[in-house]
Structure 1
Amino acid sequence: MKKVLFGLLIVSCFAFSKGEPRVETYNYGQNGMELVARSKKGVIIVSTYNSKMTIRQEIARKIYDLYLENKLQSNKKITVEGAEADVTGKCIIRKKNSLTAVDFYYEVVEWDSGLKEIYKNKL
């Protein structure tokens, strides 16, 4: 009887454990301007590349907020925490007169479900 209970305990531990996160690659994504905002300094355009459709606007808004707080540096990797997923990517900031372009390139999307998607470019 003890062996049966111990066996059931072991099996249930494996059945309900999260295990390793699934890792997948993707080579598709949405590219484009997500946000155009006017500030005292001029116009700010936030664009995302290789983004996932369901979270692209939320992440673009958070990128804009980080830009306003001066927490972004050009050509640096950053991680943006969203409601459904955390996104790691590279941010490039370009300025010309009163126009500022903030481009964010998705590299890794870590979903709350445990799925981790890595962008792979088709070459």
Structure 2
Amino acid sequence: MSKIITLLLFSYGSMFSQQNTATYDYGHNGMELVATKSNETVIINNFNAKMTIREDIAEKLLDLYNANGLITDTDITVIGDEAKVNGKIIIQKKDKLTSVNFYYEKVEWNSGLTEVYKKP
């Protein structure tokens, strides 16, 4: 009887410990959002972005930029409505123009699926 219970516990535990992970080698690259902030123009660019969440993530990035929450050449996590996205942020400034470039590396969907970007 104890062997059956042990087997059931291991089966139950392994059923919930598996993570659904996939890779992708495509994505949307381009300018998502242009905003003006006190004599400064800010452009939010996404690279390797998933089409369905790219606008939401761009808006969250702009909010982080406006709150001075972005540091160039760092890895960050952006929590959107449908997914949490991990990636690298690169900020470039020239005069009154600021370009915020976000490179998707991993997308953790609310459904449980995790997609990792893999260069083709």
Query: Does the alignment reach a TM-score above 0.5?
Result: yes
Identity %: 49
CA distance in structure 1 between the aligned counterparts of 2:39 and 2:62, rounded to whole angstroms: 14
Pick one of 34, 40, 43 that aligns with 2:41.
43
RMSD, aligned α-carbons: 1.8
Shift in Å, 1:51: 0.3
User: TM-score normalised to the size of structure 2?
Assistant: 0.87
Match in the other structure for 1:71? 69
* 4+ residue segments displaced more than 3 Å: none
For 1:1-55, what per-residue CA distance to the aligned partner results, in whole angstroms no more than 9, with x for missing partners?
xx8xx88xx49x84xx544221111000001100001110311000000000000
Structure 2 residues without counterparts, runs of 5 or longer: none
User: TM-score normalised to the size of structure 1?
Assistant: 0.85
CA distance in structure 1 between the aligned counterparts of 2:110 and 2:16, rounded to whole angstroms: 12
Aligned residue-pair number: 114
Pick one of 53, 62, 67 that aligns with 2:51.
53
CA distance in structure 2 between the aligned counterparts of 1:71 and 1:37, rounded to whole angstroms: 17
